[in-house]
Amino acid sequence: MPELTSSERIIARQDGAVGWLVFNNPERRNAVSLDMLEAIPRLLGRYAADDAVRVVVLAGAGDKAFVSGADISQFESERAGDALRRYEEIAEGAMARLQEFDKPLLAMIRGYCLGAGVNIANACDVRIAAEDARFAIPAARIGLGYRVSSTRSLVELVGPAYAREMLITGRHFSAAEAKDMGLVHRVVPPSALQQTVEEYCQNISGNAPLSIRTAKRIIRELARPPREFDAERCKAWVSECFASEDYAEGRRAFMEKRKPAFRGR
């Protein structure tokens, strides 16, 4: 497992076709600091450029938290006064890079997933949680204004009713409640979390990369306002799949009753 990290508090490593981003701030329950947010686009860029990486998993170090929110110890120096604009630009940039990433992103959630942790998990394509996971957005408990992009992502996932409950109460939701509201896809015992995530990764990494990329791009396009939707661009992405070597390989593999070997071209 070669380690690719350039920051002590966010670890990147590769295991075969799976890239990992591990939030590593355990003394603060993996709260994200400014340098961690700055590292996200850079590390995702390296995974995007590596054809061997088919899927990326986001996880928290240890078993206490996925991400317990933004690092509140930095709020006075980084998230107030004149520094606030820079912080918001970096945070928005990190979230945009996650949302625009063309390869599948999985969130492996154990323990606390609070505030910024919910935002990061919501940007992933699949969210798998252990039964001990706890979810909350405590912005109202500290007088924080929750940014529009994060609120929009939450509403798109759980609907306005649950979004209101999360934002207005600030209370903790169990993993079972999170699944019921659509915040996570699967809930499993803590002992089964790693294996379940690995099974998802194995399944996804065997699929055609161009098909996956096209699906993600079209879904993003469909989320745009109708006047901004680009149907021709979507048709071009679909045509690219039909013209690919992978499509020919998929057809041959089906006829030959074997597993296809997709190459992403």
Same domain for 243 and 231: yes
Among the residues of 31-174, which ranges form H helices?
34-49, 75-78, 84-100, 116-122, 139-142, 148-169
What parts of the chain have a pLDDT lower than 70?
Answer: 1-7, 72-83
Question: What's the rounded Cα separation, in Å, for the pair 56 and 77?
Answer: 32
Integer Cα distance of 45 and 126 in angstroms:
20
* SS3 (DSSP) at 200: helix
- Residues 32, 161, single domain; the answer is yes
Contact 162, 180 (CB under 8 A): no
Q: Judge whether 109 lies within some domain.
A: yes
Q: How many domains does the chain have?
A: 2
- Listed residues 163, 178, 205: the one ending a domain: 205
Q: What is the CATH number of the domain that holds 108?
A: 3.90.226.10
Q: Distance (Å, rounded) from C-alpha 118 to C-alpha 150?
A: 9
Give the model's pLDDT for residue 221. 93
Same structural domain, 130 and 227: no
Q: What pLDDT, in 10s, does the model give residues 238-257? A: 999 999 998 898 889 989 88
263 domain-assigned: no
Q: What is the dihedral of CA 193, 194, 197, 203, to 10 degrees?
A: -130
Structure tokens at 89: 């630009």
Residue ranges making up the domain that contains 226: 209-255
pLDDT attached to residue 258? 87
**Which pLDDT does position 6 carry in this prediction?**
46
pTM for this structure?
0.89
Q: What is the pLDDT of residue 210?
A: 94
Instruction: Report residue 187 as tokens.
Output: 């809930």
In a domain? residue 22: yes
Query: What pLDDT sits at residue 138?
Result: 92
Shared domain for 112 and 172, answered yes or no, is: yes
